[in-house]
């Protein structure tokens, strides 16, 4: 724990902390949802250094098409990852980005506000009626994050919490900040990487026509800085040929996901002459 972590005044009562420390849940499963004095919270423990398996597809594409910004960012694991996540959560919240409120930091875990039990990836795969609206809302939230001078890093559909009930509807916030792309790249690269990660993880399941999708993308990229637009155009140039990947489901979701982004990249080039 760093000095800065120790400075966080806990928002929890000593009884809440005692209950969390006695709980086996987060030690076993790494995350645990608990109802405590301040409401529903999530406890996140450390995880051992992880092989970047879940970034494999992105890494392969990055190598294949020479878009280095798609490369995975190092995840240090253990206490170092927790320190990164706490730093990023604080910076994002201070900038006004919707991320969970940090409630308590301890050497082996931290506690944050629970944002809800649904994420965008499941809303898309279940095909809920609001799926396209949720996708557009989250895209606008990414733009808003960038306009505040910030970046996300792991804005995969499963890290975008959404509400799909009548009482809790719409985008609720971004989660999961264990890596910091600014360790290995600049701000505009990290922001373009956010778009590519978001598109790669969601686009293939978005229930909308190409022109509806393009309208959202054009409006969002219009709001980005010149350097982000330039890097995005470059990525589109490098990715567009992958639209020729096979479209059949038996080729697996990674192929479908990359193909969907490549098809969008091709359309982008046609519209913008990039
Ligand atoms: N603040 C939060 N609100 C709601 N659910 C959360 C929150 N933080 C984490 N989760 C849940 O815990 C899971 C794992 O947490 P996450 O931060 O994404 O870690 P990782 O993906 O690295 O395991 C998430 O997929 C989500 O279901
Ligand atoms: Mg996650």
What is the per-residue pLDDT across 212-266, written as a single tens digit (0 to 9) for each?
999 999 999 999 999 999 999 999 998 898 898 887 777 788 888 889 999 999 9
Is 56 domain-assigned? no
* pLDDT over 70, % of the chain: 88
Asked if residue 229 and residue 100 are part of one domain, the reply reads no
Asked if residue 132 and residue 221 are part of one domain, the reply reads yes
Is 50 domain-assigned? no
Give the span between the Cα atoms of 260 and 209, in whole angstroms.
12
CA atoms within 13 A on the CB side of 94: 7
Asked if residue 177 and residue 101 are part of one domain, the reply reads no
Does residue 115 line the site of ligand 1, with CB under 6 A? yes
154 C-alpha to center of ligand 2: Å?
8
157 C-alpha to center of ligand 2: Å?
9
Q: Mean pLDDT across the chain, nearest whole number?
A: 90
Q: At 50, is the pLDDT very low, low, confident or very high (cuts 50, 70, 90)?
A: low
pLDDT tens for 97-134 read 999 999 999 999 999 999 999 999 999 999 999 999 99
Task: Answer with the residue of higher pLDDT: 49 or 85.
Answer: 85
Cα of 15 vs its chain's centroid, Å: 33
Asked if residue 264 and residue 133 are part of one domain, the reply reads yes
Looking up residue 102, the CATH number of its domain turns out to be 3.30.200
Task: Answer with the residue of higher pLDDT: 50 or 194.
Answer: 194
Q: What is the pLDDT of residue 192?
A: 94
Is 267 domain-assigned? yes
Give the span between the Cα atoms of 209 and 106, in whole angstroms.
47
Does residue 189 line the site of ligand 1, with CB under 6 A? no
Sign of the four-CA dihedral 198, 202, 204, 209: negative
Give the span between the Cα atoms of 224 and 143, in whole angstroms.
7
Q: What is the pLDDT of residue 186?
A: 92
Rg value, the chain, Cα:
19
Residue nearest to atom 19 of ligand 1 (CA): 176
Give the span between the Cα atoms of 126 and 203, in whole angstroms.
14
Is 36 domain-assigned? yes
What's the burial of 237, exposed, middle or buried (CB within 10 Å: 0-12/13-18/19+)?
Answer: middle
Strand, coil or helix: what is 169? strand
Is 225 domain-assigned? yes
101 φ/ψ sector (left φ>0, alpha ψ -120 to 50, else beta): beta
Domain count along the chain: 2
Overall pTM > 0.85: yes
State which residues form the domain around 15: 3-45+76-113
Q: What share of the chain is helix, strand, coil (3-state, %, to 5)?
A: 55, 15, 30
Give the span between the Cα atoms of 248 and 254, in whole angstroms.
12
Residue nearest to atom 15 of ligand 1 (CA): 176
Q: What is the pLDDT of residue 60?
A: 66
Report the nearest atom of ligand 1 relative to the CA of 100. Answer: 1
């Amino acid at each position: 724990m760093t000095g800065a972590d120790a400075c966080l005044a806990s928002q929890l009562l000593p009884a809440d902390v005692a209950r969390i420390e006695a709980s086996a849940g987060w030690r076993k499963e790494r995350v645990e949802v608990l109802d405590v004095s301040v409401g529903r919270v999530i406890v996140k423990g450390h995880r051992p250094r992880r092989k970047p398996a879940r970034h494999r597809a992105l890494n392969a594409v990055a190598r294949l098409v020479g878009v280095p910004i798609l490369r995975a960012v190092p995840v240090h694991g253990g206490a170092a990852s927790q320190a990164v996540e706490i730093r990023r959560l604080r910076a994002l919240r201070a900038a006004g980005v919707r991320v969970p409120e940090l409630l308590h930091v301890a050497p082996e875990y931290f506690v944050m506000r629970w944002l809800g039990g649904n994420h965008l990836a499941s809303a898309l795969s279940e095909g809920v009626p609001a799926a396209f609206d949720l996708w557009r809302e989250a895209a606008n939230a990414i733009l808003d994050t960038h306009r505040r001078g910030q970046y996300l890093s792991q804005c995969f559909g499963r890290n975008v919490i959404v509400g799909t009930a009548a009482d809790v509807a719409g985008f609720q916030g971004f989660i999961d900040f264990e890596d910091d792309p600014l360790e290995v790249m600049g701000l505009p690269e990290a922001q373009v990487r956010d778009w590519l990660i978001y598109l790669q993880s969601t686009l293939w399941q978005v229930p909308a026509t190409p022109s509806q999708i393009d309208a959202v993308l054009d409006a969002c990229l219009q709001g980005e800085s010149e350097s982000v637009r330039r890097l995005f155009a470059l990525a589109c140039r490098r990715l567009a040929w992958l639209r020729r990947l096979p479209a059949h489901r038996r080729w697996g979701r990674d192929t479908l996901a990359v193909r969907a982004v490549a098809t969008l990249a091709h359309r982008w080039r046609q519209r913008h002459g990039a």
